[in-house]
């Protein structure tokens, strides 16, 4: 699950990268079609529930940093993965390998993150995960042959991003499913989560300003 930091070696994070307040570019967009399936919205936090073939369960957390219209990052406690939006698709900035390649259509192929042959297998997939049910999703399959055969299936859903990833190699199996995704909340000094105040107006029969 290298895309989500479960495999490979993410670049070391700056000391403040993980717990720092959002400081990226708000509202940035590359205008590419692929970005709809891999949006990097500054400050958003993704929680993934992970499961292994032994039934071991865990939680993976990623925070988004948007550098500019073309570049963004997924920041993990263990490091950073950097991405770039290009007319050809979404790539890993450090390796130049495609995460999702244009055209977004069944049959599009490329060399995947794990060295295998990746392809878009569906563009209308539906999936249900702890975060909810999603439709109109793009599903990719990467298959690696040789002495270390493996299969990786990734599901990218519109305006959400990576909803599920599974990896199988021999008897080993790992899966990550989206549990929640949202912008950060305002937590006061007392540790209480606060939503923005909403003015609902005066009670019925009470003129404005009388409260």
Domain boundaries, the chain: 2-14+33-180
pLDDT at 144 over 70: yes
Number of residues that make up the chain: 211
Q: CA dist 125 to 34, 43, 121, 181, Å? A: 16, 27, 9, 20
Comparing 15 with 165, the larger pLDDT belongs to: 165
Q: Looking at domain 2-14+33-180, does it have CATH number 1.20.80?
A: no
pLDDT in tens, 17-61: 555 778 899 999 999 999 999 999 999 999 999 999 999 999 999
Which pLDDT belongs to residue 210?
46
**What is the rounded average pLDDT of the residues 98-120?**
97
Which pLDDT belongs to residue 148?
87
Phi/psi for 13 (5° steps) reads -85, 150
pLDDT, the chain, mean: 85
11: CB partners within 8 A, 6+ apart: 79, 80, 81, 82, 94
pLDDT at 129 over 60: yes
3-class SS of residue 206:
coil
- Is-contact 129 104, C-beta < 8 A? no
Q: Pick from 93, 130, 99, 94: which is nearest to 35 by CA?
A: 99
Strand partners, 156: 138, 162
Comparing 200 with 172, the larger pLDDT belongs to: 172
CA dihedral 150, 121, 63, 10 (to 10 degrees): 30
Which pLDDT belongs to residue 211?
39
- Report how far residue 105's alpha carbon sits from residue 121's, in angstroms, rounded to the nearest whole number: 8
- By DSSP bridging, strand 45-52 and strand 57-66 are antiparallel
Query: Among residues of the chain, what percentage have pLDDT more than 90?
Result: 71
3-class SS of residue 141:
strand
pLDDT at 208 over 80: no
- By DSSP bridging, strand 109-111 and strand 98-101 are unpaired
pLDDT in tens, 161-185: 999 999 999 889 999 999 999 987 6
Both tokens assigned to 115: 């060295």
Which pLDDT belongs to residue 21?
76
Q: Using alpha carbons only, what angle is made at residue 73 by residues 142 and 131, rounded to the nearest 5 degrees? A: 65
Which pLDDT belongs to residue 104?
98
């Amino acid at each position: 699950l290298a895309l989500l930091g479960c495999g490979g070696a993410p670049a070391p994070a700056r000391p403040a990268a993980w717990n720092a307040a959002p400081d990226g570019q708000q509202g940035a967009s590359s205008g590419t079609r692929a970005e709809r399936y891999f949006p990097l919205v500054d400050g958003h936090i993704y929680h993934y529930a992970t499961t292994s073939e032994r039934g071991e369960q865990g939680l993976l957390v990623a925070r988004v940093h948007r550098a500019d219209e073309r570049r963004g990052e997924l920041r993990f406690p263990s490091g950073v993965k950097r991405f770039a939006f290009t007319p050809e698709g979404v790539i890993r900035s450090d390796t130049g390998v495609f995460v999702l390649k244009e055209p977004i259509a069944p049959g599009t192929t490329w060399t995947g993150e794990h060295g295998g042959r990746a392809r878009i297998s569906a563009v209308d997939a539906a999936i249900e995960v702890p975060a909810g049910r999603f439709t109109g999703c793009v599903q990719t399959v990467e298959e690696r042959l040789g002495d270390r055969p493996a299969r990786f299936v990734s599901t990218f859903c519109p305006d959400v991003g990576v909803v599920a990833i599974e990896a199988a190699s021999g008897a080993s199996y790992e899966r990550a499913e989206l549990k929640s995704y949202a912008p950060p909340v305002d937590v006061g000094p007392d540790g209480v989560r606060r939503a923005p105040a909403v003015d609902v107006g005066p009670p019925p029969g009470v003129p404005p300003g009388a409260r």
